Structure 1
Amino acid sequence: MPITATARKVTLAAASGLLVAGLTACDAQSGPTLEPSSDTRQVTVVGEGQVEGTPDTLTVNASMESLAPDATTAMNETNELQQQVIDALVELGIDRRDLSTTEASLQPQFGPQDNTITAYRATNSLDVKIRDLTRASDAISLVVSTGGNAARVNSISYSIEDDSQLVRDARARAFEDAKDRANQYAQLSGLDLGKVISISESAGPTPPVPMPASPRALEAAVPLEPGQQTVGFTVTVVWELA
């Protein structure tokens, strides 16, 4: 059936009407809401909480290092010295479960003028966890005196063996800080603080970086101070505003 001019006008008008309606719907979806409903009124705040605790554990990383013309001699010397250190630490009262090997390596050493191997360097590293801090100074001195010039004290670091209660306290402080801020914003807005919508947290300050230590400085009694470590949390909380 042929389409008349009148029919074309009606069809065009209908299509135009649909286009206008579609644009109006898009504008309603993408444009700003001038009067948001109550279920969209929220406040998002960040709270922080920190607590300090005294470290009760010291971890020492110590190495024995030997240089010899052949690989077997270098490795044997290093292993013998490290075994002597382990035996001495156990005799001091350090539990074997608190001694763990972290490195055992053997590297060729080359001459300055060519690629000829001139010697071999063997290294054996040990982590020593000292739970009784009154023995810490003696333990470090013992490592150096037993190993002699082959001894290397690479680092020492303090930690808190069980920080679960500190974590709970820091988390509680962070939430209370967030709630206090949210209450203030609610009052400034003339609204009431409603129920919690979401909570997310992240760890706070990290413990101090392990400190390097020089073997020469450890030949005498080692003065050690554990100081304080901070356990902290940052929490982001979203509340409804009513």
Structure 2
Amino acid sequence: MSISAWAKKPSRVLVITVAGLLVAAVSGCDSAPAGPVAGPDGPVPRQVTVVGEGKVEGTPDTVTVNAAIESLAPDATAAMNQTNERMTAVIDAVAGQGIDRKDISTTQVNLQPQYGENSTINGYQASNSIAVKIRDINAASPTITAIQTTGGNATRINSVSFAIEDDSQMVKDARARAFNDAKDRAQQYAELSGLDLGTVISISEVGAATPPPTPMPRYDAAEAMSVPLSPGQQTVGFSVTVVWELG
């Protein structure tokens, strides 16, 4: 054997040996179970983060009416007196519709000067606002009509909002639906990745936004009539973010 041939022989043996190690390493990766991912501070558990949605609908059983009386007069005292007189009559008319006085609350009292030319005060505007909580949907329309007819053209119906007095069970149902939705999604991801769904690491939720009050137009007392109202359906919803371990 020549010196040249002998020098090349170890190289062939070395190449064959390295190739054999690579095959063994690939084979070992295929058969080893999934484990934690290596991180700078040690093993990091495999995780899946999902967002679940849950909604439940219910029929509102209460109505809140926000109304105001506004008056203009040459002086502040006259403006306040006119407003107070009409608001007292409005509150009595609301109570006359069977509304408990404890469900009638003052929300704002305001007095503002009115300016004319050269920034001179030429009068005052006084306002008194109330919130009326109506616990019988059927009494809402007659109550609004009573407010309007009693207050006359000084009346402002600012908003009408519907609500469910006790929505605690709806909240529980919506929360459960959100979590179950998140779990179904996580289980699907675990199956798609060939892993098992483990324990919950964290849960965070966001409640659904409250529907805004419905604005109401101003009515002329001479044309006052029954106000058509439809409570529709109110939705209680949650969005929940859940993190699971994967094994």
- Indicate the TM-score class for this superposition, using the shorter chain for normalisation: 0.7 to 0.9
2-side partners of 1:35 and 1:177: how far apart?
26
1-side partners of 2:44 and 2:187: how far apart?
18
User: Percent identical across equivalent pairs?
Assistant: 63
1:170 to 146, 171, 174: 174
Aligned to 2:52: 47
Letter of the 2:102 counterpart:
R
Rg bigger for which structure? Answer: 2
1-side partners of 2:160 and 2:188: how far apart?
45
Per-residue deviation at 1:208? 2.4
Letter of the 1:61 counterpart:
N
Aligned residues: 207
When the two chains are superposed, the root-mean-square deviation of aligned CA atoms in Å is: 1.6
Aligned to 1:150: 154
1-side partners of 2:37 and 2:226: how far apart?
70
Distance 1:127 1:70, change over 3 A: same
1:110 to 109, 115, 121: 115
Per-residue deviation at 1:45? 0.8
Aligned to 2:206: 202
1:215 match: secondary structure = coil
Per-residue deviation at 1:150? 0.8
Letter of the 1:48 counterpart:
E
Measured against aligned partners, the alpha-carbon deviations of 1:53-109 in whole angstroms (never above 9, x if no partner) come to 111111111001110111111100100110111111112111111111111011111
1:81 to 81, 86, 94: 86
Distance 1:35 1:78, change over 3 A: closer
1:76 match: secondary structure = helix
Letter of the 2:236 counterpart:
V
Per-residue deviation at 1:207? 3.1
Letter of the 1:83 counterpart:
T
Distance 1:74 1:35, change over 3 A: closer
1:216 match: secondary structure = coil
Structure 2: stretches of 5+ with no match in the other structure:
1-34
Aligned to 1:128: 132
Structure 1: stretches of 5+ with no match in the other structure:
1-33
1-side partners of 2:160 and 2:76: how far apart?
30
2:141 to 137, 143, 146: 137
2-side partners of 1:98 and 1:39: how far apart?
57
Verify the 8 A CA contact 1:197 1:239 in the aligned structure 2: yes
Distance 1:41 1:35, change over 3 A: closer
1-side partners of 2:44 and 2:121: how far apart?
76
2:150 match: secondary structure = helix
2-side partners of 1:46 and 1:91: how far apart?
50
Distance 1:35 1:43, change over 3 A: closer
2:244 to 219, 233, 239: 239
TM-score by length of 1: 0.82
2-side partners of 1:75 and 1:100: how far apart?
18
TM-score by length of 2: 0.80
Per-residue deviation at 1:35? 6.8
Letter of the 2:219 counterpart:
R
1-side partners of 2:96 and 2:180: how far apart?
49
Letter of the 2:165 counterpart:
E
1:55 match: secondary structure = coil
